[in-house]
Amino acid sequence: MLPGANSEYEIRGANLKIRQIPVDGYETVVVAEDSASQLHALIAIHDTTLGPALGGLRMWDYSSEEEALTDVLRLARGMTYKSACANTGLGGGKAVIIGDRETDLTEERFRAMGRFIETLEGRYITAEDVGIGIRELEWLREETSYVTGLSRSSGSSGNPSPFTARGVIRGLFACAEERFGTSHLDRLRYSVQGLGQVGGDVVRCLSMLGATVTVADINDERCEEYAALPGVEVVPQDEIYSVDCDVFMPCALGGVLNDDTIPLLKAQVVAGCANNQLLRSEHADALYSRGILYAPDFIINAGGIINVSVEVREQGYNERTAVRKIENIYDGLREVFETSRRENLTPAEAADRVAEFRLEQARNRNGHHVADGAPNS
């Protein structure tokens, strides 16, 4: 049972301090601290109109709890809209652990996190995100059943990253047809910011197709690895925005499309896998005014959450079902672009309308409260 605000209680031998933070437009926001494991974590449940809140757990060395709160709120809200647009039958939530993966990644800390998740009694279901892998999910599973994306050998859906990348490539076809009138991805030039699991898979796929790809990443060794691929060139991180290309792909952290970077872009399309790419909602207008086609991130990067949702909502995980649903990302983007043209909206506004319409329909059916506010993407 979820404790009251600012309460301490004993659960399974670990003294978790749980605080609730009231936030307008969110169903539940809670902070946990555990003295034994040094856990300091936050969970935000934005909206469960469509089903339990599903969203990944990330570990990041935030400078303060306030910074972590800002991030988890934006991410949770984005998950609501992502799940709604992807028809997953799930709501939106997110969790973050404040810590450095190099020094703070311990079994004790993650088992305490599992106990924290368990207090929400299934209203929030977690999965992997930045800084989290299968091993950490297995530690969580020791304390809670509300974990998805474990190893395929256990009957779970496995690593969602390849499915996210698959959805991004599918979305690129919609972008290419909308802006360039072609379905030949190999004829376009790409700049990719970030060579993590998803960004790296996207680059490999584009290279195999014969495309020209310019990449940048904080990890020099990773850059060297990808520079060996056909058609791939590496540039310094601060030069990636101004690369002369057709498609700019943000595949690292969020907030990279802002007042400083948008004027540098030479691309005609922005379509990447990062969450919350727009620093603020008005940056969608800035892209639109420059004639740059923006693929809303919570639509084009939904492949991973679609894959995990099949595990949660279906009678057992089935990869074919997941892949079939991920293919619909193409149709979702085409619908958004058509709405954008027809109603003179930015693609971000059009995507928000799709999500809000589906949430409103569900609220009318079941009388459930819908949290207000669209994500900044």
Q: Which of 144, 138, 105, 107 is nearest to 124 (CA)?
A: 144
Tokens matching residue 49: 């109109």
Tokens matching residue 289: 């005014």
Distances 179 to 173, 246, 272, 323 between C-alpha atoms, Å: 10, 10, 16, 25
Tokens matching residue 306: 């679609």
Task: Quickly list DSSP for 251-266.
Answer: -SSS--BSTTTGGG--
- Strand-strand pairing, 124-128 and 53-60: parallel
Q: Do 199 and 219 meet the contact criterion of CB atoms below 8 Å apart? A: no
Q: Do 269 and 248 meet the contact criterion of CB atoms below 8 Å apart? A: yes
Query: Which member of 17, 94, 266, 325 is catalytic?
Result: 94
DSSP H/E element including 356: helix 347-366
266 is catalytic: no
Q: Do 327 and 170 meet the contact criterion of CB atoms below 8 Å apart? A: yes
Q: Which of 88, 68, 65, 77 is nearest to 25 (CA)?
A: 77
Please give the positions annotated as active site.
94
